Chains A and B, each alone.
Chain A
Amino acid sequence: MSWLAPWTAFWVLLAVIPALLALYILRLRRARQLVPTTTLWTAAAEDIQANTPFQRLRRNLLLLLQLVALAMLALAVAQPRLEMAAGRGARTVLLIDCSASMQAVEGGQTRFEQAIEAAMQAVDRLHPGIWFGDAGGQTMVVAMGDEAEIMQPFTGSRGALRAALERMEPADTTARLDRALAMARAWSAEPDPDAPRVTDGPARLEVFTDGGLPDLDQATLLGAETLVHLVGDSTAGNRSVQMVAAQRDSDDPHQVQVFATLWNWERSPRDERVQMSIENAAVHVEDMTLPAATLDDAGEVRPGVQDLVFTKARHSGEALIEVRLVGEDALPLDDAAWAVVPEVAPLRVHLVSEDPDFWSRALSVVPAVDVTTSTAAADVDLTVYDGVSPETLPDGPTLSINAPFPSALLEFGSVRPAESVALGDPKHPVFRGGAPGDLWVRAPQQVELDTQVRPVLRGADGPLVLAWEEGGHRRVHIAFDPTESTWPLHPTFVSFLVDALEWMAWRGADYRGAAMAGDRASVRLPEGVQTAIATGPGGVRRPLAVHSGRRAGWGPVDRAGPWVVRWDEPTAGHRFVAVRVPVQLEGDLRVPEAMHIGGVEATAAGNAAASTPLWPWALCGSLLVLLIEWAVYTSRIR
């Protein structure tokens, strides 16, 4: 609240209140009237005046009411203004950051709770009720997670808005402002078919966040008035388990090797104790010092990274592995990460080739793979067609090489000239270990692609490696003969084999714990399983439908931690799926001093310039008190 003329009000009070008191202190000048006798006249107590110029100030309700009325008049003269009234009467979208960093605890309260509290105050400000001029504004509440969710469409009901805010919960994902803005715009622009209305420009935006939004540069406000409520404390310290990986030893699959990467977001080194558990039993505890975070030239924080390789542990069955930081920090959510290793069982690959030597040797590089060339092979996990075209689309994952593949999504043409340029898609899982950037290829196939087929490696004249899903199975096609290229000499060839087998068929792919909160998780289930239930941290349950290819998925996953997928038929079993926090996006708990959205600096909540004058209310209050005073006076003189 601000005052435009406080000193004027002060001088008014100084002049008027003593004058009013003087009226009560000084004797009333009365007309003289002669009467036969005064004994019959009953004198009211307050009408008896001492025979002096002054009288004692008595307790008087009328005086009190007049003082209150004068005080309210002086208040009106001071012209108070309520600065919280920004946006009243307009359409406003409240965007609440529900990302993982909002679970940071500061002063016994999470940032999310602070944001909800601020949003509640905003709702009270925007919808103070009809007595204080609701002005017909409408407000919508949007939860900003990895996906945006409308918690409350546009409404003028304060109760509905508060209820929507109370329903909200933080997620373990990151938050995407652009998706929330897109949804808010869609709801703003699309009139209700039952009650069409003319929209008058973009709705106001009020963003409640700690500033940890990864897509601030990509988001565009399109001229919308934006108010940012920043919550959180930049001094909050955080350490994270960024990643946990586990694999079986290639020589002794019963040995499990666990790797972890620890990040320190603070500007000073931190001593930490790290505990590794398998199946909830602590196996190793390591004390270490995490290096301090640094600032790069752009002012961005680069966390102090400490890689950790735990001593091998012996465990033959499927194992859920947890790596946890024992010490306390502001964000406990990212202090643990999980990985899953499958039970000891090799991947069965059927190689169909006229000359299987090369591919037998190449596939043998991949750990835990059994390659067979027998034509009677059955119940295999993957079939490799090397220079051989199957007659029909095989029922199972396939890796086809340099031969027409009977896919409805591919159309093979003539042979192309040799190419020496390749461009890989590093985002695709088959090139997770790296895509070749410079490759010589002899006589690649000419292939026309359907849009469902993704060219993950391109040459100058066309695709070289394709990945797609068809017939319920994942498939990869190499449109050239690798033996007549430089690729086998390139390190990415081996990593491609590993990644491609993982992506297509290897059971280990289902256990890698690669799922990240906000992504879709999937698991490959045994033959014959039709339904399963995924149970996440906190007892969250998701029923799963098993698709062809024995895979079942759900998501986006909003809870980080170990999920368990259970099934009862044909025989009861379970699989773990480890979901981790997107630490690289949510681990940095710094709160920016100002937020730039799409290059435009958003107005901070404390600088909201709009305000509502309160003097009419003070004036009305004064008149009301005067009415009461008049009523009291009238009741006395009747």
Chain B
Amino acid sequence: MIPGFGIDSSPPPATVEDLLGPSLLAAMDGLEITSRKVLSGRLHGERRSRRRGFSIDFADHRPYVAGDDLRYVDWNVYARLDALFLKLYLDEEDLSVLIVLDATPSMDWGAPSKWTFARRLAMALGSIGLAAKHRVSLACCSGSDVSHLRDLRGRGRTAELGQWLLQRSIRDHGGGEPLGEALRAVAPTRRGRGVAIILSDFLGADDPLPALRTLAGGGDDLHCLQVLSPQETDPGGHGLAGDMRLEDQEGGPPREVTVTPSLLRAYRARLDERVRLVRDAARRCGGSHLAVETDADVADLLLGQLRRGGLIR
């Protein structure tokens, strides 16, 4: 065993503040999760809707018909035209945000840990959604083993979100296609359409396209955040060398290899191929893909790549 290779020696987060520190909280101020699709919410919220509603943004006039609320009659127009018109305003609806968190054993690796990083990112995205009065749901999956936290709304649920994330743990999935099984388990529980964010390393052997289609088929705006550790993207640079017996965190068959530059090149090519496969699958489902490394700063990630990717505004 190479000392420190893929092992996060820092203590895991124990409090909500560990997941969402003050600096991150300050960076999140004013951010909002957006959808590239115009979706209809179920409740009034802070997200502008195509439907007419009750926000302060003027949209149009229409003739008064019996039963209309007289509070919205434009009396200035009546004075000029002697006809009753209603002032129509853009409605503000809530947005359904689903954060799917991969809890397969492969996420429990890396320094910093992919699992910790994913939970912090989920905490940050969930908090942004709650602050924007979006309807935030979370699913923590390991294969078909899914635990849900549904329909949180409002800043007051931030602590509950944090506690729920702190209580999640890595679980064995018993083999098979963990991502596909997880998304097939989550998709039926989805109520309405919205934004679906998947936090996973996508390192299974299966093709991610069918699984993503399962989730995107409901009309969600899909965002795949592929979480990788620096030791995964550059194992040779982090000390992996020599004759090794590689044991699979997911329980797969071990590999006995002699780590040479040529082998590292081949590994890197296969990793890039896997990332490209996930990206193509996400795009074919109308979504986006972003590969992030766990040594990245979450605040920078939110304000930089995720904002440019259209997930955060």
**In B224-240, which residues have CB < 8 Å from any A CB?**
229, 232, 235, 240
In the assembled complex, which residues on chain B have CB atoms less than 8 Å from the CB atom of A35?
6, 109, 235, 246-249
Do B270 and A37 touch across chains, with their CB atoms under 8 A apart?
no
Q: How large is the interface on B (under 10, 10 to 19, 20 to 34, 35 or more residues)?
A: 35 or more
A28 touches B260 (CB 8 A): no
* Interface residue A607 (Cβ < 8 Å from any Cβ of B): no
Q: Within the complex, which residue of A34, A42, A43 is in contact with B256, where a contact is CB–CB below 8 Å?
A: A43
Chain B residue, CB-CB nearest to A42? B266
B249 touches A41 (CB 8 A): no
Question: Per-residue CB proximity of A379-411 to B under 8 Å, as 1/0?
Answer: 000000000000000000000000000000000
Contact check, A32 vs B257: say whether CB atoms are below 8 A apart: no
Is A48's beta carbon under 8 Å from chain B?
yes
B274 touches A40 (CB 8 A): yes
Query: What residue of chain A has the Cβ atom nearest to residue B7's Cβ?
Result: A34
The 8 Å CB contact of A637, one of B114, B205, B246, B258, is: B258
Query: Would you give the 0/1 interface string for A25-51, flagging 1 where the beta carbon is closer than 8 Å to chain B?
Result: 000111111111111111110011100
Q: Are A638 and B260 in contact (CB under 8 A)?
A: yes
Residue ID in chain B nearest A635 by CB atoms: B262
The minimal Cβ–Cβ distance linking A209 to chain B, given in whole angstroms, is: 67
A13-31 vs B, CB cutoff 8 Å, 1 = contact: the mask equals 0000000000000001111
Could you say which of A40, A49, A637 contacts B261, with CB atoms under 8 Å apart?
A637
Q: Which residues of A contact B257 (CB under 8 A)?
A: 41, 43-44, 47
Structural contact, B106 and A37, CB atoms closer than 8 A: yes
Taking CB atoms and an 8 Å cut-off, the chain A residues in 525-580 that contact chain B are none
B residues 72-105 in Cβ contact with A at 8 Å: none
**B255 interface hit (Cβ, 8 Å):** yes
Interface status of B252 (Cβ within 8 A of chain A): yes
CA distance A251 to B254 in the complex (A): 123
Closest to B253 in A: A38
Complex alpha-carbon distance, A46 and B67, angstroms: 83
- Asked if A39 and B256 make an inter-chain contact with CB atoms under 8 angstroms apart, the answer reads no
Set of chain A residues within 8 Å of B253, measured between Cβ atoms: 38
> Inside 8 A of A41's CB, which chain B residues have their CB?
246, 255, 257, 263, 267, 270
Question: Which residues from chain A contact B262 at a C-beta distance below 8 Å?
Answer: 637-638
Shortest A457–chain B CB gap in Å is 104
Closest to A33 in B: B244
- Contacts known (A40-B270, A41-B267); A34 close to B258, Cβ less than 8 A: no
Q: How far is the CA of A138 from the CA of B267 in the complex (A)?
A: 64
Neighbouring A residues of B245 by C-beta, 8 Å = 30-33
Once the chains are docked, how many angstroms separate the CA of A29 from the CA of B256?
Answer: 10
Whether B248 contacts A38 by the Cβ 8 Å rule is yes
Task: For B262, give the chain A residue with the smallest CB separation.
Answer: A638
Q: B271 on the interface (CB 8 Å rule)?
A: yes
Residues of chain B lying within 8 A (CB to CB) of residue A30: 243-245, 256
Q: Give chain B residues whose Cβ lies under 8 Å from the Cβ of A33.
A: 1-2, 5-6, 240, 244-247
List the A side residues contacting B274 at CB < 8 Å. Answer: 40
Task: Give Cα distance in the complex from A43 to B248, angstroms.
Answer: 14
Contact, CB under 8 Å: A40 / B248: no
Minimum Cβ distance to chain B for residue A54 (Å) = 15
- Which A residues are CB-close (under 8 A) to B235? 35
- Residue B203 CB within 8 A of the other chain: yes
Does A40 contact B260, Cβ atoms closer than 8 Å? no
Q: How far is the CB of A242 from chain B (nearest CB, A)?
A: 87
Give A29 to B2 CA distance when docked, in angstroms: 15
Q: Tell me, rounded to whole Å, the shortest Cβ–Cβ distance linking B294 to chain A.
A: 12
* B255 and A43 within 8 A (CB): yes
- The answer on a CB contact under 8 Å between B240 and A44 is no
Q: Is B242 interfacial (CB-CB < 8 Å)? A: yes
Across-interface contacts of A43 in B (CB, < 8 A):
255-257
B220 to chain A, nearest CB (A): 27
Cα distance A637–B265 when bound, in Å?
11
Cβ-based interface call for B204 (8 A) = yes
Tell me which residues across on chain A come within 8 A of B255, comparing CB atoms: 38, 41, 43, 48
- B32: chain A residues at CB < 8 Å are none
* B247-A42 in contact (CB<8A): no
What does the 1/0 interface line of B1-18 toward A look like (CB < 8 Å)? 110011000000000000
Instruction: Select from chain B the residue with minimum beta-carbon distance to A35.
Output: B246
A25–chain B nearest beta-carbon distance, Å? 16
Chain A min CB distance to B117 (Å): 13
Interface positions, chain A 89-110, Cβ under 8 Å from B, are: none
Most buried by A among B244, B249, B253, B256: B256
Q: How far is the CB of B186 from chain A (nearest CB, A)?
A: 22
Contact residue among A28, A34, A637, A638 (Cβ-Cβ distance under 8 Å from B249): A34
Interchain CB contact under 8 A, B250 and A36:
yes
How far apart are B229's CB and chain A's nearest CB, in angstroms?
8
B158 CB to nearest A CB, Å: 30
Complex CA–CA separation, A39 to B262 (angstroms): 17
Bound complex: CA of A613 vs CA of B23, how far in Å? 81
Evaluate whether A34 and B106 lie within 8 angstroms (CB atoms) in the complex, with A41-B267, A47-B257, A637-B262 already known. no
Is B221 interfacial (CB 8 A cutoff)?
Answer: no
Task: Name the residue of chain A whose CB is nearest to the CB of B228.
Answer: A36
Q: Are A32 and B267 in contact (CB under 8 A)?
A: no
Q: Which chain A residues border B248 with CB–CB below 8 Å?
A: 35-39
Q: In the complex, are the beta carbons of B256 and A48 less than 8 A apart?
A: yes
Complex Cα distance, B109 from A34, in Å, reads 9
Q: Chain A, 458-481, contact with B by CB distance < 8 Å: what is the 0/1 string?
A: 000000000000000000000000
Chain A residues in 8 Å Cβ range of B258 = 44, 47, 637
What residues on B are CB-neighbors of A637 within 8 Å? 258, 260-262
| Closest partner residue, chain B, to A49 (CB atom) | B256
CB distance from A31 to the nearest CB of B (A): 6
Distance A44 CA – B246 CA, assembled complex (angstroms): 13
Interface residue? B293 (CB, 8 A) = no
Q: Shortest beta-carbon distance, B4 to chain A, in Å?
A: 12
- With A47-B258, A637-B258, A638-B261 already in contact, the answer to whether A36 and B243 are too (CB < 8 A) is no
Nearest A-chain residue to B206, judged by Cβ? A39
A31 to B255, CA, bound (A): 11
Contact A42 B263, beta carbon cutoff 8 Å? yes
Taken residue by residue from 606 to 638, chain A's Cβ proximity to chain B (1 for < 8 Å, 0 otherwise) reads as 000000000000000000000000000000111
Q: Give complex CA distance A556, B264 in Å.
A: 86
B175-218 interface with A by 8 A CB criterion: 201, 203-205
User: What's the nearest-Cβ distance from chain A to residue B260, in Å?
Assistant: 4
Across the two chains, which residue of chain B brings its CB closest to A28?
B243
A267 to chain B, nearest CB (A): 79
State in angstroms the CA–CA spacing of A41 and B257 once bound together: 8
A30→B241 CA distance, assembly (Å)? 11
Q: Is the CB of A34 within 8 A of B232?
A: no
Q: A31-B243, A637-B258, A637-B260 known; A36 and B267 CB under 8 Å? A: no
Among all A-B residue pairs, the 3 with the closest Cβ atoms: A36-B106, A637-B260, A30-B245
21 contacts between A and B (CB under 8 A): A28-B243, A31-B1, A31-B244, A33-B245, A34-B1, A34-B109, A34-B246, A36-B106, A36-B107, A36-B110, A37-B205, A41-B263, A42-B266, A42-B267, A43-B257, A44-B257, A44-B263, A47-B257, A47-B258, A48-B256, A638-B260
Interface on B for A, CB 8 Å cutoff? 1-2, 5-6, 106-107, 109-110, 114, 201, 203-205, 229, 232, 235, 240, 242-250, 252-258, 260-263, 266-267, 270-271, 274
